[in-house]
Each structure stands twice: as structure tokens, then as C-alpha cells.
């Protein structure tokens, strides 16, 4: 005899049956409904991929990429895997592209795959292990190439939507070189702006864009509690010629990744 369901109504977020009002974790997708008093999405990473461009471009982690039901619920049909050692789990359900390079990210190749998805009205997820380093760098590169947004604009756009991104210096330097490649060799890199109040971005984005500002600092030893994009000019030494691109909005736990994430996402 079939046992009667313990609940009559499924969770209104993930659609599965679990005691979501009590904060119970869904046994199918891992979703948990947070109380209003809880601090925010960074405490418990969302089971859903982050929407970067409406109904088109999504950013996430390997955990997000492993949840086929939620990917389908978001309408995602293509997946760009930026970590060579990450397995593609659902080859019969999604169209995959996997980066083969472990050190240098092929920004042009990745951007073309993303743009092809857009022209074919397909939704695409870009992921790495933690969703904090390699995959956001690829998304930022795409925005520079096809949206023609400078590095600072592109970084801030992604940071506003996924505050946990934490680019390594190696990836940051690759993005800086790519910016010069996209906009021409004579153009300067993302500049330092010596302003105590920071530089507020307003590049004609929709009015709903979060009011986060970007702060440029000449400090060579930024606080470990903030997510930052650190570039080194000249000989690459950590002196007064280096600068830090830091999001002004601080989130607890934004830079925390486990040891596997750090190893997989370090390049």
C-alpha cells in the first residue's frame, strides 16, 4: 500500500516535499528556506545558479551544475565547465563545453560559446568548483567583449549579483590583459581612482541595479575579510605600484572556500 504523503503541498521554492516552514533541508535538491532573521544568502549557498543577464547567462558552482532538476527549472540547456577535472554529469540532458586549459583561461573561446547560446536563444550556465574565481572571470570577459563594458564595469555587474566572487591575482591579471586586447593595446588598464568616497558606477544600467559602489585603494595588503581583485603593475611586486579593486559592500563569509575549492579554483 502506498504511504500517504506527510505533506499535501510541496515547497513553493523548489517544488519538492519537505518541511520547508521549519527550515528542513530538502532531501532532493538541498534547498532550505531561510528565516527572515538570518543574515543572507552567503551563509548557505543557493541551490539555484545566479542569473547574470536576464533569461540567458547564469553563474554558479559545481554544486549548482550537479542539480539537473533546478537547472531545468531555470530553463538552462547549456553548460560551460571551466575546470578540466570536473565531470560533466548529464551529457544526455545538457549541451556541454569544457575548458581544457588548467592555467590560462581561453576567454575568446568561452565568450564565443556564450554568445552563440545567446543568438540561439539558449540559457547557459558557466561554472567552476566554487563559483568564485574561474567562472566569474569567464563571465566578466564575455561582458567586456560583447557588452563592451570595461573591466571595472563588468566586475561590478557580476559582483552585485554574486557577492561571493573572489578572483585570484593570476586570474585578475589575465582579465587585465584581456581588457587591453578587447579595447586596444593603447588603452590603459582599469585605473586607480584616488577618491575617499569611492567611485559610484552608473553606466546606463537599469534603475534596479543595486547601489553598490566600487572603491579603489592603494593598499598593498588588503583586508582578508573583503573580496578583492588585486592587480600588480610593473614588475609585479607588492609595492605602492600595486592596487586593489574592492567592492564596498562587505559580506560575512564571502571569501570562504574549502581547501578543494581553493585548489581547483586557484588558476
Active site residue ranges: 128
User: How is the chain split among helix, strand and coil, in percent rounded to 5?
Assistant: 25, 15, 60
- Residue 106 CA to residue 113 CA, distance in Å, equals 11
Contacts with 92 (C-beta within 8 Å, 6 or more apart), sequence order: none
Query: Helix (H, G, I), strand (E, B), or coil: what is residue 72?
Result: helix
Burial status of residue 242 (CB atoms within 10 A of its CB: 0-12, 13-18, 19 or more): buried
- Residue 241 CA to residue 246 CA, distance in Å, equals 16
What is the DSSP annotation of 191-227?
PP---TT-B---SS--TTS----EEEE--SS--TTS-
Amino acid at each position: 500500500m502506498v504511504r500517504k504523503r506527510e505533506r499535501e503541498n510541496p515547497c513553493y521554492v523548489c517544488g519538492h516535499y519537505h518541511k520547508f516552514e521549519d527550515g528542513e533541508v530538502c532531501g532532493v535538491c538541498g534547498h532550505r528556506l531561510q528565516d527572515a532573521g538570518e543574515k543572507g544568502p552567503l551563509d548557505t549557498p543557493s541551490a539555484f545558479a545566479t542569473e547574470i543577464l536576464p533569461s540567458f547567462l547564469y553563474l554558479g558552482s559545481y554544486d549548482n551544475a550537479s542539480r539537473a532538476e533546478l537547472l531545468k527549472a531555470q530553463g538552462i540547456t547549456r553548460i560551460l565547465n571551466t575546470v578540466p577535472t570536473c565531470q560533466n554529469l548529464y551529457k544526455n540532458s545538457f549541451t556541454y563545453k569544457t575548458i581544457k586549459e588548467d592555467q590560462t583561461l581561453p576567454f575568446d573561446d568561452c565568450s564565443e560559446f556564450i554568445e552563440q547560446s545567446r543568438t540561439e536563444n539558449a540559457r547557459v550556465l558557466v561554472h567552476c568548483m566554487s563559483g568564485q574565481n574561474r567562472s566569474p572571470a569567464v563571465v566578466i570577459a564575455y561582458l567586456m567583449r560583447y557588452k563592451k563594458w570595461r573591466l571595472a564595469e563588468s566586475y561590478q555587474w557580476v559582483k552585485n549579483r554574486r557577492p561571493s566572487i573572489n578572483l585570484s591575482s593570476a586570474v585578475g591579471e589575465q582579465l587585465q590583459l584581456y581588457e587591453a586586447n578587447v579595447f586596444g593595446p593603447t588603452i590603459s588598464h582599469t585605473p586607480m581612482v584616488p577618491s575617499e568616497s569611492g567611485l559610484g558606477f552608473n553606466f546606463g544600467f537599469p534603475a534596479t541595479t543595486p547601489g553598490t559602489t566600487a572603491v579603489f585603494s592603494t593598499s598593498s595588503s588588503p583586508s582578508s575579510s573583503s573580496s578583492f581583485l588585486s592587480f600588480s603593475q610593473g614588475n609585479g611586486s607588492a609595492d605602492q605600484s600595486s592596487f586593489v579593486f574592492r567592492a564596498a559592500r562587505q559580506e560575512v563569509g564571502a571569501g570562504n572556500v574549502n581547501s578543494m575549492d581553493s585548489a581547483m579554483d586557484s588558476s
